[in-house]
Structure 1
Amino acid sequence: MLITQPSDLDPASPGPITIAQPLLDHLAAIRADVLASLASGEPVYGVNTGMGALSKVRLTTDEQKVHQRNLLLGRAVGGPPWLPDDEARAVLIGRLRTFLTGDAGVSVELIQQLVAFINSGHVPAIPAGGAGSAGEIIPLAHAFGPLAADLGPKEGIALLAGIPGATGRAALHAARARRLADRLSEIGAGAIAVIGANRGPYHPLTARGDDVLAAELTRLRNLVGPEPDPRSLQAPVSFRVAGPVIAHVRRTLTHLEAAVERAFTGVTDSPAYLDGEFVGTAGFHGIDLAAHCDHLTAALAHAAEVSTARLHRLLDPAVTGLPAQLAHEPGPQAGLVAVHKRAVATSHALRRLTLPSAIGTAETSNGQEDVQSFSWEAVGGLAEAIRLAREVAACELLAVHQALALSKRPVPPGLQELLLAVANVVPPIEADRPFGEDLTRLLDSVL
């Protein structure tokens, strides 16, 4: 991946990274200006002064030589559980992308060290929780500890500034949520096909004034195909609202993606080197990113609850006309009733994630930091919400697969690829068995 400008760098994209020489030359020129400005001896927060409540303390020349390294060492107070490797990599890439704007004024040598670190395939142990500050200095201290041995002026505080970790992780999870939204459409369409639902609620004309909803309704109709002989005039609500529910997921996801781009494009370093001077900023606050992570978490929780309700209806012969609980032989066999119970428990766990992250601020640093947005925690909650929403989707998908097999109904053309992928990993269900194994294979191979 050749990077010619910061926006080329996508935390969700794998592969080695190379920074184009013209961009490196531009950053080297900024670094020279930064060093010249620092030589004046004017106070610059975190460079020749202490941090937080100690910012009034001026550092001697000898103290400044070790200060940038100490900033990382003294703030690495986190512990397990650690981020998964892909999220840890996203943190590193998020930091690199902010450095490429030039606001931090770090050296080309540090940037090249960071690129080599990313390309090595090794990732640091970064605590998944416990940020608890204005910004994310604790996880970033762990992330960049391997680079702490030989830091120049301002480079330690630059590694700790802003919310690059939450932003990089949010970009990664947004890509995952986009894939999940597509599967939710397919699974919802499969459930609609199973019960022979009236297609009226999915007519695009019912989405007047809402282009996102109109697109989702069109997608559902294309996936499920026509139903010339509906089983009833009205399907249960959980089927009729499939379009608005998934459209809301897509809408909130688009808003999160925009917030990620704002976070990457905006000024997050503090102090930032802007137009020839050091400027203190509030780019570490991250309320925009935190709020949109929370919004998507809530949208996924609602989608999971609707999916769980549909799954329950799929077990009901009055709704489907199929054997009770989708058992091959109801009575001697329990069918998929326990699969629904797992979905209920998973939806309940997801619901508990929907408390807004930015509620509950507390003072730290002797009152210097008296507000937090907890964006690091918000993106962690979103990661868990995506995981749980996938579990619920797997439960409904297994029921759709079994219902279509029992009904002998033809699979709609728009769903054939999905149902073939399911059939490749889920053997025919003719008796009770440990369905958790089937769900795991769906999560590993299909969702």
Structure 2
Amino acid sequence: MRPEPLVYVTIAHLYEDLCRSLDMLRRDDSAVRRSRAVVERALADGGTYYGINTGFGKLARVRIPADQQARLQRNLLLSHAVGVGEPIPRDVTRLMLHLKIHALGLGYSGVSPETFHRLLLFAEKDWVPVVPSKGSVGASGDLAPLAHLALPLLGLGAFWRPDGAGTVPAADVLAAHGLAPIDLQPKDGLALINGTQMMSAYGAYVLEKGSRLVRTADLLAAMSLEALQGSIKPFDARIQAVRPHPGQARVAENVRHLLEGSEILESHRDCGKVQDPYCLRCVPQVHGAGRDALAYATRVVETEINAVTDNPLVFEDGDILSGGNFHGQPLALALDVAAMALAELASISERRIYLLLEGHDGLPTLLMRETGLNSGFMIPQYTAAALVSENKVLCHPASVDSIPTSLGQEDHVSMGSISALKLVNVLRNLEHVLAIELLTAAQALDYRLPLRPGRGVEAAHRYVRRLIPHREADYLFQEDLLPCLDLIRTDALLDAVAEEGCVLA
């Protein structure tokens, strides 16, 4: 039996699927054993099989004697564990481990049951290896990161402590549980380090957070629109229908929903303004394009986490075929696109922040009544501008770069791991920019009282004001930005809006 396909909805949902998959594999590893039997027969038939009885990469033509084939696999892990940089966060590495086990369990890698079950034990005990973040070129899989992921099998490397605060040598953990390091069998090392699990794990991690941020961005746009007395006309369903991108229609619907019952809208319905600046008027088009781009990236990641990205692949008919499923180009492109989508959400958010400070339609300049002595909200916009500018640098696509490796044998690589690492930084910058817009829009809405905004906007504003007061003098902005950042990173604000009947799609 093979594991059921994973359906990526959220990280929590994905972990549920993975845990079911791993539990099934503990009880029924027949696909792994059938695949291993093919490798065992190949070893006995005298043929030449890449990475099983040959060297790797440029050394593929070097035949390895039978009595050295187990050592070959150990050497593979040792020679490839040359990652550098800050460790990958524990929760991302935990996902890497589970995805690697799932891929091996599909039964096309020929890994030995002993090695496979030791990895299952790591997952069961929640022993998460420490993996450096840099060193993969995203072509023959995430070689260096996955080599570090596998080192504890040999009693080398380290595990994270359960709380993520520090690490413990893997040898100490194994010894404390009466376990000896395992001896890798032919093909094991190659099955462990060939694959795209680092890129896939980062993609799943960021895209889940992105699915929340696109809804939060719609909410913040509606708050800013109300504070700036913007027009609801650009969100008319008829406008979206004649340019029927799905994300655009959804964003416009969200904003219309959030503005239902708005007294502010009614107060300026006949004000004579014809058009708002693009950062308000084009929210459906910009936010919507980002949603559609993230949907594409999510489809790629879901395909990848259900794929076998090993080489060579072992098939039930006895064939062992070398191919290129390890190449990270599908993910590299998708993660680059996701970074651009998130960066644009930050970019248009910063423009709304700037607009809120300009003193339009009765709002005080810099959102405080007594400026001069007070700088008001001037400098948070600087921070947003800096983060948006940094994102522009980070959005240079890694996927268009390639540096030959393995003496030219691996002459085109994806650099998808760099796409993944950049994507995380873009995400974090976006979170901070949205936190600044949340703080700024809430301050601006205070000046529209006693007029009430739409019920969704009002619910969000009311929730923010429970945590953060209105300000009329300079203060340490971090006191308010940090709670706003917490709201951006959790479902609390969206849940408060949903309780008022405004569930955002």
Interval containing the TM-score (normalised by the shorter chain): over 0.9
* Residue aligning to 2:144: 138
Contact kept, 8 Å, 2:87 with 2:130, in 1: the verdict is yes
Structure 2 CA distance, aligned partners of 1:200 and 1:129? 48
Kindly report the root-mean-square deviation, in angstroms, between the aligned alpha carbons of the 2 structures.
2.1
Please give the residue correspondences for 1:385-400 in structure 2 after superposition, counting only pairs within 5 Å. 385-400=426-441
* Residue aligning to 2:4: 5
Structure 2 CA distance, aligned partners of 1:337 and 1:359? 38
2:252 counterpart of 1:210: no
Structure 2 CA distance, aligned partners of 1:162 and 1:245? 34
Structure 2 CA distance, aligned partners of 1:41 and 1:394? 63
State the 1:384 CA deviation: 1.0
My pick for the range that moved more, 397-406 or 425-434, is: 425-434
* Residue aligning to 2:493: none
Please give the residue correspondences for 1:354-393 in structure 2 after superposition, counting only pairs within 5 Å. 354-393=395-434
State the 1:276 CA deviation: 2.2
- For residues 156-214 of structure 1, give each alpha carbon's deviation from its aligned partner in whole angstroms, at most 9, with x where no partner exists: 10011121211122112111110111111111111111112111111121112323311
2:477 counterpart of 1:435: yes
* Residue aligning to 2:186: 153
State the 1:397 CA deviation: 0.8
Residues 354 and 126 (structure 1), Cα distance of their counterparts in 2 relative to 1, 3 Å cut: same
Please give the residue correspondences for 1:200-239 in structure 2 after superposition, counting only pairs within 5 Å. 200-207=233-240, 208=242, 209-225=244-260, 227-228=265-266, 229-230=268-269, 232-239=273-280
Contact kept, 8 Å, 1:198 with 1:235, in 2: the verdict is yes
* Residue aligning to 2:353: 311
2:119 counterpart of 1:86: no
Residue type of the alignment partner of 1:210: H
State the 1:320 CA deviation: 4.0
Contact kept, 8 Å, 1:192 with 1:224, in 2: the verdict is no
My pick for the range that moved more, 50-59 or 320-329, is: 320-329
Contact kept, 8 Å, 1:256 with 1:296, in 2: the verdict is yes
Secondary structure (helix, strand or coil) at the match of 2:400 reads coil
My pick for the range that moved more, 41-50 or 145-154, is: 145-154
Equivalent residue in structure 2 for 1:276, among 318, 321, 324:
318
Contact kept, 8 Å, 2:230 with 2:276, in 1: the verdict is yes
My pick for the range that moved more, 165-174 or 306-315, is: 165-174
2:127 counterpart of 1:122: yes
Residue type of the alignment partner of 1:184: A
Equivalent residue in structure 2 for 1:248, among 289, 292, 298:
289
Secondary structure (helix, strand or coil) at the match of 1:20 reads helix
Residue type of the alignment partner of 2:114: E
2:43 counterpart of 1:38: yes
Residue type of the alignment partner of 1:394: A
Residue type of the alignment partner of 2:24: A
State the 1:362 CA deviation: 1.4
My pick for the range that moved more, 61-70 or 425-434, is: 425-434
2:95 counterpart of 1:96: no
Residue type of the alignment partner of 1:75: H
TM-score w.r.t. length of structure 2: 0.83
Structure 1 CA distance, aligned partners of 2:7 and 2:255? 33
My pick for the range that moved more, 207-216 or 191-200, is: 207-216
My pick for the range that moved more, 343-352 or 209-218, is: 209-218
My pick for the range that moved more, 122-131 or 293-302, is: 122-131
Residues 187 and 64 (structure 1), Cα distance of their counterparts in 2 relative to 1, 3 Å cut: same
Structure 2 CA distance, aligned partners of 1:182 and 1:293? 20
State the 1:76 CA deviation: 0.9
Stretches of structure 1 that go unaligned for 5 or more consecutive residues are none
State the 1:332 CA deviation: 2.5
Residue type of the alignment partner of 1:251: D
Equivalent residue in structure 2 for 1:413, among 450, 455, 458:
455
Stretches of structure 2 that go unaligned for 5 or more consecutive residues are 155-180, 490-505
- For residues 111-157 of structure 1, give each alpha carbon's deviation from its aligned partner in whole angstroms, at most 9, with x where no partner exists: 33223213333322212222136231011111111123422221110
- Counting matched residue pairs gives 444
My pick for the range that moved more, 3-12 or 284-293, is: 3-12
Secondary structure (helix, strand or coil) at the match of 1:128 reads strand
Contact kept, 8 Å, 1:205 with 1:214, in 2: the verdict is no
State the 1:234 CA deviation: 1.5
Equivalent residue in structure 2 for 1:287, among 304, 326, 329:
329
Structure 1 CA distance, aligned partners of 2:135 and 2:398? 13
Structure 2 CA distance, aligned partners of 1:9 and 1:197? 37
- For residues 211-235 of structure 1, give each alpha carbon's deviation from its aligned partner in whole angstroms, at most 9, with x where no partner exists: 3311211111111235222452221
Contact kept, 8 Å, 2:138 with 2:196, in 1: the verdict is no
Structure 2 CA distance, aligned partners of 1:81 and 1:69? 25
Structure 1 CA distance, aligned partners of 2:384 and 2:289? 21
